[in-house]
């Protein structure tokens, strides 16, 4: 029994002694650490951004070597041309030079001639013999008067007939129309065609219609007191015999008079 215990103890001691030896033989020579090129690429790329360094990749490795004299060449961008305008301005400290970017001037809108303000509606004195409610049109001064009580009259600027088409006489308002349509008489169509203008035989009422917003028809004649889509012609000899007012003025007059109103053209 004792001899058996001695043998077991000896075998155990020999086994323990052999373990370190086996361990030392297993790790005695460590293999080199191999880094995958795919894993090393990111930091290699970062090193390549350093000034004066150049990345050189071989067939078997990703090394970094510094090449003396290597420089990074940058292309110079062409300078941006900026136009400036200098002007003198004032600040709280006095005169100072202000620099502002030059911008093209906006195109001017083509403006129509303006009507003389004298032809705007106004209240005036009236010393004539016509009764209140009568319309008096002075073709020489281009004024229409609506006679009122107390020696007053409301005066409007008008456009009248061209040379040779001015007429005088007394009529009554036979009809009133809102945004009237226009049927040019045949003689007008022929006359304007000779001047190179082709008039329509009919035009519906509206902003483009030359009769404007309102019309007061005079007796059985072809003449009317009407508005216009060309307000700058007020105060001129421009029509074919009709009396024209600005649209806002003819609307005002339209509301103040009725059918049967006496109209005196002088």
- Residue 224 sits in a domain whose CATH number is 2.40.440.10
Higher per-residue confidence, 21 vs 202 = 202
Whether the per-residue pLDDT at 18 is higher than 90: the answer is no
pLDDT at residue 171 in the model = 98
On whether residue 203 sits in a domain, the answer given is yes
> DSSP string of 170-184?
EEEEEEEEES--B--
Per mean pLDDT, which range of 26-40, 80-94, 202-216, 244-258 is the poorest?
80-94
The encoded tokens of residue 155 equal 């005066």
On whether residue 222 sits in a domain, the answer given is yes
User: What percentage of the chain carries pLDDT values higher than 90?
Assistant: 52
pLDDT at residue 49 in the model = 45
List Cβ neighbours of 245 (8 Å cut-off, separation of 6 or more): 144, 156, 157, 158, 159, 212, 225, 226, 227, 228, 234, 253
- Give 151-188 pLDDT, tens digit per residue: 999 999 999 999 999 999 999 999 999 999 999 888 88
Q: Are strands 135-138 and 262-265 parallel, antiparallel or unpaired?
A: parallel
- Catalytic status, residue 198: no
On whether residue 215 sits in a domain, the answer given is yes
- Give 25-50 pLDDT, tens digit per residue: 455 566 665 555 554 444 444 444 44
Higher per-residue confidence, 209 vs 33 = 209
| CA atoms of 120 and 69, how far apart (whole Å) | 87
Instruction: Say if CB 121 and CB 158 are below 8 A apart.
Output: no
On whether residue 84 sits in a domain, the answer given is no
On whether residue 161 sits in a domain, the answer given is yes
Higher per-residue confidence, 15 vs 210 = 210
**Can you say how many angstroms the Cα of residue 172 is from the centroid of all Cα atoms in its chain?**
49
Split into its structural domains, the chain has a count of 1
**Can you say how many angstroms the Cα of residue 224 is from the centroid of all Cα atoms in its chain?**
40
DSSP secondary structure letter of residue 159: B
Range among 16-20, 30-34, 203-207, 248-252 rated most confident: 248-252
On whether residue 23 sits in a domain, the answer given is no
Q: Which of 154, 155, 226, 244 is catalytic?
A: 226
**Structural domain span for residue 123:** 117-265
On whether residue 246 sits in a domain, the answer given is yes
Q: Which of 160, 242, 245, 257 is catalytic?
A: 242
On whether residue 187 sits in a domain, the answer given is yes
Whether the per-residue pLDDT at 234 is higher than 50: the answer is yes
For 265, the enclosing helix (H) or strand (E) is: strand 262-265
Q: What is the pTM of this model?
A: 0.58
């Amino acid at each position: 029994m004792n001899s058996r215990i001695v043998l077991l103890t000896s075998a155990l001691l020999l086994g323990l002694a052999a373990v370190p030896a086996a361990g030392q033989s297993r790790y005695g020579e460590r293999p080199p650490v191999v880094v995958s090129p795919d894993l090393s690429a990111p930091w290699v790329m970062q090193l390549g951004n350093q000034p004066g360094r150049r990345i050189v990749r071989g067939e078997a490795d990703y090394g970094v070597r510094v090449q003396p004299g290597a420089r990074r060449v940058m292309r110079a961008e062409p300078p941006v041309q900026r136009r400036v305008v200098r002007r003198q301005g004032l600040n709280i400290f006095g005169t100072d030079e202000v620099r502002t970017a030059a911008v093209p001037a906006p195109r001017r809108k083509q403006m129509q001639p303006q009507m003389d303000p004298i032809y705007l509606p106004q209240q005036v004195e009236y010393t004539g013999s016509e009764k209140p409610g009568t319309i008096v049109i002075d073709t020489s001064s281009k004024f229409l008067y609506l006679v009122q009580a107390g020696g007053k009259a409301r005066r409007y600027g008008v456009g009248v007939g061209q040379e040779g088409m001015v007429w005088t006489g007394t009529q009554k308002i036979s009809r009133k129309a809102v945004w009237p349509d226009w049927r040019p008489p045949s003689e007008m169509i022929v006359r304007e065609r000779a001047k190179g203008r082709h008039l329509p035989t009919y035009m519906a009422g509206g902003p483009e219609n030359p009769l404007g917003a309102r019309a007061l028809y005079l007796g059985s004649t072809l003449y009317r007191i009407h508005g216009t889509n060309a307000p700058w012609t007020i105060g001129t000899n421009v029509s074919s015999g009709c009396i024209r007012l600005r649209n806002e003025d003819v609307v005002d007059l339209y509301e103040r008079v009725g059918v049967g109103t006496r109209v005196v053209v002088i």
